[in-house]
Amino acid sequence: MDGRTHAPRGPRRGREGASPAPRTPLERCRDEYLGHLAVERGLSRNTLDAYRRDLNAYVSYLSERGIDEVDAVARRDIEDFIAARREAGYASSSINRTLSAVKGMHRFLMREGMSGTHPTAGVRYARQDDRLPEYLTIEQATALLDQPFPQTDAGVRDHAILEVLYGCGVRVSELTGLDVGDLYLDDEFLRVTGKGSKERLVPISGTAESALRSYLADARRSLAAHARSGVSAAVFLNARGGRISRQSVHTIVERAGRTVGIEGLHPHILRHSFATHMLAGGADLRVLQEILGHASISTTQVYTHVDRTQLREVYLAAHPRA
């Protein structure tokens, strides 16, 4: 003993068996709101993860300012947080998503009587550039889907994946979530589960239906034979017989695009291409909204701008005085 008095040590953090640090009141409010989103609103896992990341960043920023109580948050704090995100290089769309999460949390806390202030009132969203979605030309889509795929189980599967993404306009999460029981091929429909666990019927026919039937006939059965446990209900399987991941689908799409000279291709471009080509072919906007699973018609209307861009390009190329 050296004779010096030592202050009693609290529980160490980061060690096995250590007690976690107690949550601050603001952290508890954040967790209450995230729980509400998961249970009452039924948001998808991806959307919930995005909200969690945004709110974690928000709460951490306030904590660094010494703010741990929800009613201590002022409008200036939120505006400074948004400014810090902008200075860090975040896109306007990301900043607006973050602000939407923050506004939603404070509205929820007011409604539930957990806060007596609404500091986000009057905080404006960032102005976004009107960027049109990327899409393939019909010639590019044809080259992509008509390329010679290997006549292996994986090759037949990959062809079917690309055909369904472009032929049905589904999101990659909706494609990987498909189960065999969701297929109504005799009626030419798929039942997909979209955002917020909402189900809808999506038409399938032509080469998409043909490629999917070819995959189901032999390749899927062969892939399922590699499963170590029970047979998966998933439509699209990986080499181990389990449900294919979204990341694997991204890799498949990117590789197929590179083969025909399309760099940086990803599944959402195929969804955009489906919508653009449907409108160019005369599809009704409301019907397209239903197929795509958009909650608001305004989301679908972006494709009318794409179509107008195409019309203008044709006009400029064809009119002698343009």
Active site residues: 171, 195, 268, 271, 294, 303
- Give the full edge-to-edge strand order of the sheet including 183-184: 183-184, 189-193, 199-203
- The C-alpha atoms of residue 48 and residue 120 are separated, in whole angstroms, by 21
- Cα 272 to its chain centre, rounded Å, is 14
Q: Tokens 């949550």 appear where?
A: 23
Here the tokens at position 275 are: 């919508």
Q: How far is the C-alpha of 270 from the C-alpha of 305, rounded, in Å?
A: 17
Helix 267-280 to helix 302-318 angle (10° resolution) is 60
Angstrom distance (rounded) from CA 58 to CA 30 = 10
Angle in degrees, CA 78, 38, 116, rounded to 5: 40
Contact 81, 65 (CB under 8 A): no
Cα–Cα distance, 37 to 54 (Å, whole number):
14
Residues 6+ apart with CB under 8 A from 309: 132
The partner residues of 193 in beta bridges, in order of sequence, read: 199
Residue type, 156: V
The C-alpha R_g of the chain, in whole angstroms, comes to 25
CA distances from 304 to 168, 273, 281, 287 (A): 19, 13, 12, 13
Q: What are phi and psi of 215, to 5 degrees?
A: -65, -45
